[in-house]
Amino acid sequence: MVVGRRRGGNGKPFGPVRPEHASDGWALAGDAAEWWLTKTYGVIHARINGTTDSTCAWRVSKPTGDLIREVSAFTVEEAKIACDTWAKENLPPG
């Protein structure tokens, strides 16, 4: 096992992100230890990943990797909606 990678106790990858969450422009990424969602708004990159077995966080970063915003969420759907809303309100179109 790679240091820093977690695996859920249920035999599934760590966190609440699952393939069925890949919709509305969100793409599934990850490996055997953890799945996450990604989405691009122009040149800005967003990611949703698990923080516990049942909660997650969304983050938006610059192409350099510099963090713009990060917020916790109770569910993946809540994170997707919150991130999309934040992007629509705070990022230039494109």
Position with higher pLDDT, 9 vs 23: 23
pLDDT tier for residue 82 given thresholds of 50, 70 and 90: very high
What are the tens digits of pLDDT across the range 37-72?
Answer: 999 999 999 999 999 999 999 999 999 999 999 999
CB 15 within 8 A of CB 23: no
Q: What is the pLDDT of residue 45?
A: 97
CA nearest to 36, candidates 8, 45, 26, 87? 26
Q: What is this structure's pTM?
A: 0.87
